[in-house]
Copies of this chain bind each other. A is one copy, B any other.
């Protein structure tokens, strides 16, 4: 069943059917009704491929992240997908994994599918190679980057000032008398680097040395975190607080400490990052930095629709994070 069949059945031309389909006002009510009736009757659905061919858009956005099964990205994807749908856009999801090559392949795939825009969550990356790839993409379609910042035409960045958030964490801990702060991180993304730099800068500004052995890179694996902590302690290093770039890492540390019969926060306060659902899964619940995913993602989609509408849009928007105090640390 195509538009010709509908036209024939309704006794009109395909142009008229098309007008009805697209809500043109230039159709007599009676004609419209007739056409609509045929459509309804036959259960006709316009062929979107043909439509897209003429219009050169399918109203679809590529949404790219390293791993949707990660609680943080999942949240972001959820919000973005919903917001986009609210604007009549569908989302093609690509959960790329960490390999640069795969990310690029996904972007190319999405580009080949002629998506109207790209939303990159939690990118960009440390590798310059990759950013150049984004530049190429951005030449063709608007590209929104969530929690990454780069200065490239047709690229729009919305991010949380995680540098400052982490900086403030350190200062807050210092004020409580915690001067040896274990720092756990797992990724060297833009966001990861920002946080680590905040940690370091705060030390400098406070006039304390950064103890490099207290900065540990781990995977999001509870056992691995426990082992890292144990090995640290065995080597005789001590720390009086834990800061992590992700809630999950903080929780790994927390459980390792609890296992050693240490009290949290009495012996060692802990602050996570992301303010994810995980914070309420521990006992005591985890104090964490809310980096505003929801706002970030909503803004990202709004920016995008503004771009589509040709409005002038800021290329960089930075929000502040916010410490959510729970059981593991209070200011």
Q: Which residues of A are interface residues toward B (Cβ below 8 A)? A: 45-50, 52-53, 56, 58, 60, 63, 67-71, 73-75, 77-79, 81-82, 85, 90-95, 97, 106, 109-114, 222, 248, 251, 254-255, 258-259, 277-278, 280-283, 285
Contacts of A280 in B (CB 8 A): 222, 255
Partner of A248, one of B53, B258, B281, B282: B281
State in angstroms the CA–CA spacing of A290 and B78 once bound together. Answer: 24
Specify how many copies of this chain sit in the oligomer. Answer: 2
Question: Do the beta carbons of A71 and B68 come within 8 Å of each other?
Answer: no
Complex: chain B residue closest to A278, CB-CB: B281
State in angstroms the CA–CA spacing of A91 and B81 once bound together. Answer: 12
Question: Do the beta carbons of B94 and A85 come within 8 Å of each other?
Answer: yes
Question: Do the beta carbons of A81 and B95 come within 8 Å of each other?
Answer: yes
State in angstroms the CA–CA spacing of A21 and B290 once bound together. Answer: 48
Question: Do the beta carbons of A49 and B58 come within 8 Å of each other?
Answer: yes
Question: Do the beta carbons of A113 and B90 come within 8 Å of each other?
Answer: yes
State in angstroms the CA–CA spacing of A56 and B283 once bound together. Answer: 54
Contacts of A78 in B (CB 8 A): 67-69, 95
State in angstroms the CA–CA spacing of A93 and B94 once bound together. Answer: 10
Q: List 17 A-B contacts (CB under 8 A).
A: A49-B58, A60-B113, A71-B277, A74-B77, A77-B95, A81-B93, A81-B95, A90-B92, A90-B110, A222-B281, A222-B285, A248-B281, A251-B281, A255-B282, A259-B283, A278-B278, A281-B282
Contacts of A283 in B (CB 8 A): 254-255, 258-259, 282-283
State in angstroms the CA–CA spacing of A172 and B294 once bound together. Answer: 42
CB of A66, distance to nearest CB on chain B (Å): 10
State in angstroms the CA–CA spacing of A50 and B255 once bound together. Answer: 56
Question: Do the beta carbons of B77 and A93 come within 8 Å of each other?
Answer: yes
Contacts of A75 in B (CB 8 A): 69
